[in-house]
Structure 1
Amino acid sequence: MYADRFPSAELQRRPADYQLKTWDYDSICSMQQQAQQDHEHSKESSLQSSLKQKVRRLLLEEEEELATRLIIMDQLQSLGVAYHFEEEIRNILMSMHVHDAHHQLKHDLSSTALLFRMLRGYGISASTDMLSAFRDENGDFKAANPKDIDGFVALHEASYLAFPGEAMLDEARAFAVKKLEQLMPSMFISMERQIDLPLQWRVPRLQAIWSLQQHGYNDEKHLSMDPSVLQLAVVDFNLVQAVHGAELVEVTKWWKETGLGVKLPFARDRLVECFFCAACIAPEPPLASCREVLAKVGSLIVHLDDVYDLYGTFDELAAFTDAVGSWDDDALSTALPEYMKAMYSVIRSTSTEAADRVTKGKGYDVLPLYKKAWHELCKAFLIEAKWQHEGQMPCLEEYLENGWVTSTGPLLLLHAFTMLQQQEQIDSWLRNHDDGNDMVYPKLVELCSMIFRLCNDCATYEAESERGEEASAITCRMGCGASKEDARAAVVDAIAETWKKVNREVALSSITGTGSAANRVCVNLARTIQCIYQDGDGITSPKDSRKRLVKDMLFTPLDLDICGAW
């Protein structure tokens, strides 16, 4: 029956030469979890509690100078422990905003730029007028101290919190970059990394690793920080890593039980990389269910992407899309190929299990939303397959309208939102899911998914072109006459402009008081994508530098000796 329906299937497969998986799943499953089982009674856990109290007292010390308090809050963010003090930090920043604290900073460029960045980062109103003191009578930025490296770095970082249309911050960035380039010979090599990927675009969990490593190697930085802050960061990192490690073991066992790595041998097997991404998007220990569903759905998406992009014939893909739309057992008795039946079965069981968890926890039946989102993704994948099958090149607008969905960001964030129990958003989706129209996602989901799509296209363009895959944001621009270099530059510019829209959307939602946890997950998705695709395709062909990031974050505890004597 299969041969009758898809007579030329085997002749139409396209080969791929993907890297084998990096990580040994049997070794992961056999990892000793004694440290995780006992972590609440460990020295580190007890120490964490006392250190949090010390840092909280330090943070709330009102006699500290304004610039010093800003530095402490920035250190907590950079070291990955600000989540313990979210309420305190927000209250301090709100007080600074209400009392126009920037006037007290006079001509301190570093502190003023830092205050601006932190206010906007927390969704608190901050006007670009805060930086007016650092412009001359012609409106150009000026440097009171031509060697103010800290000030130029802070200004550069602050410029990435711009909203659309804020040309002043574009000018600030150009000024800061020019000054830093002039000073570069006298600076640490780490400055190149800071200019390459700004703080606003960096994954907080990975930034914590980098910051902690820098403090371990740099005595000057070490001495400039209160010891309790650094000690808390190291202890907290290891405790959170232990939590993540235990979760990875369970997710790996689930993946092995699905058998998809064997049943779909042509597809990329990237379970550990997907868990790594999930832990970057939702790192805090209480968000375990969010990490689990992101890792599972992400792993399924990688396989599904290869089904549509590489292996499935167009007739098979159309039949599979219809099966996902029906979402019933009959699809398993149809003429779908066996590899597609296996894929379909695990998609259904995984999302059904996640929906059952939400129902038990909050009483919502979100399975209809999952069904619809999976079907919309498959339909969008099928559109791309049709373009490929018929040799069509869509216009850029048509491509991107479909592309933010095929980025898979909407499906991932839908599952994450339901685990975060975002009641207002879930209610809206449930009210509208029967209207026959497509899912309507929050603007922030669409924007972060667009960053996903554009970063992916930049990183995968060369390899996909070699495999004969056509449509991308780069090729669509080239189809309009742009050179490859100009097309790539335009996509890079589009990513930066989309980030400005993300900044504005976060600020707007903060004003209305909606979805702070969901906002963080959305923005962290975009940050994770920037990381994964910063130096090539970190999913398909991870380089040693990306493998090292995974190892550092998931498998390698930090040395407590970084903190010196305890």
Structure 2
Amino acid sequence: MASSAHATMYADRFPSAELQQRPADYQLKTWDYDSICSMKQQAQQDHEHSKQSSLQSSLKQKVRRLLLEEEEELATRLIIMDQLQSLGVAYHFEEEIRNILMSMHVHDAHLQLKHDLSSTALLFRMLRGHGISASTDMLIAFRDENGDFKAENPKDIDAFVALHEASYLAFPGEAMLDEARAFAVKKLEELMPSMSTFMGPASQTEIQGDLPLHWRVPRLQATWSLKQHGYNDERNLSMDPSILQLAAVDFNLVQAVHGAELVEVTNWWKETRLGEKLPFARDRLVECFFCAASIAPEPCLAGCREVLAKVGSLIVHLDDVYDLYGTLDELAAFTDVVGRWCEWDDDALLPLPEYMKAMYSAIRSTSMEAADRVMNEQGYDALPLYKKAWHELCKAFLIEAKWQHEGGMPSLEEYLENGWVTSTGPLLLLHAFTMLQQQEQTDSWLRNHEDGDDMVTAYPKLVELCSMIFRLCNDCATHEAESERGEAASAITCRMGGATSKEEARAAVADAIAETWKKVNREVALSSSTGTWSAANRVCVNLVRTIQCIYQDGDSITSPKDSRKRLVMDMLFTPLDLDICGAW
């Protein structure tokens, strides 16, 4: 049983490292790696873990029976599925939930809800969120003869919140959903004085800002939802106790899996000694693992988390090599070495400074290790893809370095054409896909590789769109600090190239993010129609959600604030008190 004292134990064991002055005012690593490596993963071996696993199995059966109860009203079944999703346990019931939603779609369930805006909006959001066709015609019943949205009950807060959340599942050109959002916002602003409720130990704003549900990290949303339900009896009245209990037990079990993986990845990082060999670079292993666990949280995706954490940590160092430390000649030589994928004793490595040799060695060995895993588990060689993707990233980094060294300012179009690659989204998602066993997509990439095509032209549209949001979010968060360092090119500065003010440029970039999300929604719907890409879709979308979270309140990779460190603590190190959640 997790006591409140036990729930805060980890916080005392991981003090922030003492800060020292660094180039570009970067912090030293913010976590004590020796303390992490000394963690004894007893949670997966002791009696308590065994009890929780047994309890989880029993609760899953209870919740499954509840979910499949056909006598339940349509609105109630929708609420149950939404609760499972919000609490982070819907992955246990993916097949059941999809079958229920498909049945609702086939039988035009929205016609039974024509006077229930809250349930209709929730159905619309759930259908689109699972890649199932849902027309905006579902909402016509809630518009008047002039086509304006109307409120059957002007004080129905739940209905307006549901409509607002549904509007973020829009496709490009769906003006009705833009109107729905404006209507919902207006009504909620009018009702704001009556909306204050007890928020438990942490407010939603502290967790993921004011992001809509569709843009939030599911694992962090589960953290927040569990805290709210655990501390707020009033919120539990509409929820079957077995759902909350399952969510609490599952959260601790998944956290234990992630904790054991973090120990292994931390040991790997210490063995690379990159923190010592590249002392000018940001050391952000724990933050990178946090991102990996946010992108692919399910226990079965261990390989995906491992490669994302490792590649992410290497990318942070590589970014600082190109942005801060390397001369233009050194960067050109390094890019060439990566393109040749030189052996360690190759003469091409001799001119490189030692820190670059260490960087290249870590990239090469990590990629070869990942490729060996893919070969052993799936039977094909992914190394050619990894080689080309690393080279494409280095070439794109080099272009940015030349802009900076030469004082050039590209056009916005030119900048973004290169920038979605330097976001590093393509490289990260390629590695993730190979661990997801996306054989069809990998075969396509391998064919393109053999034909000599660039990796950039071979990426699926969804990868490009998600990487574009990655780039735009990064630029919004880092513009001020990078401008002070003299790093000129960003979406903000390129947008300001004319007579646009900084505030106008920021607003334009925010609009571009919102419009690109609509394209992401459409692309997910198109690829989901085949039924073969759901895992990859989820990883792509979760990457964007994670990026928006870490850049929501500044740059949480370069300069993580206390609020963001608390997110890491809550998700990776602090188990839930099962007494508070009623699981024991």
> Into which bin does the TM-score normalised by the smaller protein fall?
over 0.9
For 1:524 and 1:72, the matched residues in 2 are separated by 22
Q: Residues 6 and 202 of structure 1: is their aligned pair in 2 closer, same or farther, counting only changes over 3 Å?
A: closer
Q: Residues 242 and 313 of structure 1: is their aligned pair in 2 closer, same or farther, counting only changes over 3 Å?
A: same
> How far did residue 36 of structure 1 move?
1.9
- Secondary structure of the structure 2 residue equivalent to 1:369: helix
Q: Residues 14 and 372 of structure 1: is their aligned pair in 2 closer, same or farther, counting only changes over 3 Å?
A: farther
> How far did residue 4 of structure 1 move?
50
2:222 paired residue number: 208
2:567 paired residue number: 549
- Secondary structure of the structure 2 residue equivalent to 1:61: coil
> How far did residue 331 of structure 1 move?
3.9
User: Do the aligned residues in 1 keep the contact of 2:14 with 2:35 (CA within 8 Å)?
Assistant: no
For 1:322 and 1:9, the matched residues in 2 are separated by 36
> How far did residue 15 of structure 1 move?
3.2
Q: Residues 494 and 3 of structure 1: is their aligned pair in 2 closer, same or farther, counting only changes over 3 Å?
A: closer
> How far did residue 6 of structure 1 move?
41
User: Do the aligned residues in 1 keep the contact of 2:207 with 2:567 (CA within 8 Å)?
Assistant: no
Structure 1 length normalisation: TM-score?
0.95
For 1:293 and 1:5, the matched residues in 2 are separated by 26
> How far did residue 51 of structure 1 move?
0.2
- Secondary structure of the structure 2 residue equivalent to 1:9: coil
> How far did residue 224 of structure 1 move?
1.6
Runs of 4+ in 1 over 3 A off after TM superposition: 1-15, 37-41, 190-195, 326-332
> How far did residue 487 of structure 1 move?
0.1
| Among candidates 520, 525, 533, match of residue 543 of structure 2 | 525
Q: Residues 13 and 539 of structure 1: is their aligned pair in 2 closer, same or farther, counting only changes over 3 Å?
A: closer
> How far did residue 19 of structure 1 move?
1.4
Unaligned runs of 5+ in 2: 1-8, 196-203
Any idea what the Cα deviations from partners look like across 1:47-68, whole Å, max 9, x if unmatched? 0000000000000000000000
Any idea what the Cα deviations from partners look like across 1:131-168, whole Å, max 9, x if unmatched? 01111111011111111100000000000000000000
User: Do the aligned residues in 2 keep the contact of 1:110 with 1:154 (CA within 8 Å)?
Assistant: yes
- Secondary structure of the structure 1 residue equivalent to 2:397: helix
For 1:210 and 1:144, the matched residues in 2 are separated by 31
Any idea what the Cα deviations from partners look like across 1:57-116, whole Å, max 9, x if unmatched? 000000000000000000000000000000000000000000000111121110000000
User: Do the aligned residues in 2 keep the contact of 1:12 with 1:313 (CA within 8 Å)?
Assistant: no
User: Do the aligned residues in 2 keep the contact of 1:13 with 1:310 (CA within 8 Å)?
Assistant: no
Q: Residues 5 and 465 of structure 1: is their aligned pair in 2 closer, same or farther, counting only changes over 3 Å?
A: farther
> How far did residue 564 of structure 1 move?
2.8
- Secondary structure of the structure 1 residue equivalent to 2:455: coil
Structure 2 length normalisation: TM-score?
0.92
| Greater shift in the superposed pair: 502-511 or 429-438 | 429-438
Q: Residues 330 and 85 of structure 1: is their aligned pair in 2 closer, same or farther, counting only changes over 3 Å?
A: farther
> How far did residue 416 of structure 1 move?
0.4
User: Do the aligned residues in 2 keep the contact of 1:304 with 1:343 (CA within 8 Å)?
Assistant: yes
Unaligned runs of 5+ in 1: none
> How far did residue 192 of structure 1 move?
10
Q: Residues 482 and 125 of structure 1: is their aligned pair in 2 closer, same or farther, counting only changes over 3 Å?
A: same
For 2:190 and 2:368, the matched residues in 1 are separated by 57
User: Do the aligned residues in 2 keep the contact of 1:13 with 1:311 (CA within 8 Å)?
Assistant: no
- Secondary structure of the structure 1 residue equivalent to 2:134: coil
> How far did residue 513 of structure 1 move?
2.1
User: Do the aligned residues in 2 keep the contact of 1:321 with 1:378 (CA within 8 Å)?
Assistant: yes
| Among candidates 419, 429, 432, match of residue 445 of structure 2 | 429
Any idea what the Cα deviations from partners look like across 1:503-532, whole Å, max 9, x if unmatched? 000100111223110110000000000101
> How far did residue 10 of structure 1 move?
26
2:417 paired residue number: 401
Percent identity (aligned): 91
Q: Residues 14 and 25 of structure 1: is their aligned pair in 2 closer, same or farther, counting only changes over 3 Å?
A: closer
> How far did residue 434 of structure 1 move?
2.7
The answer to whether 1:78 aligns with 2:92 is: no
> How far did residue 238 of structure 1 move?
0.1
The answer to whether 1:41 aligns with 2:49 is: yes
- Secondary structure of the structure 2 residue equivalent to 1:267: coil
RMSD: 5.9
> How far did residue 421 of structure 1 move?
1.0
1:474 paired residue number: 492
Q: Residues 492 and 373 of structure 1: is their aligned pair in 2 closer, same or farther, counting only changes over 3 Å?
A: same
User: Do the aligned residues in 2 keep the contact of 1:274 with 1:295 (CA within 8 Å)?
Assistant: yes
Any idea what the Cα deviations from partners look like across 1:289-338, whole Å, max 9, x if unmatched? 10000000000000000000011111110010001008984443xxx000
User: Do the aligned residues in 1 keep the contact of 2:393 with 2:421 (CA within 8 Å)?
Assistant: yes
User: Do the aligned residues in 2 keep the contact of 1:21 with 1:268 (CA within 8 Å)?
Assistant: yes
For 2:440 and 2:92, the matched residues in 1 are separated by 25
1:246 paired residue number: 260
| Greater shift in the superposed pair: 509-518 or 383-392 | 509-518
> How far did residue 12 of structure 1 move?
22
Q: Residues 59 and 311 of structure 1: is their aligned pair in 2 closer, same or farther, counting only changes over 3 Å?
A: same
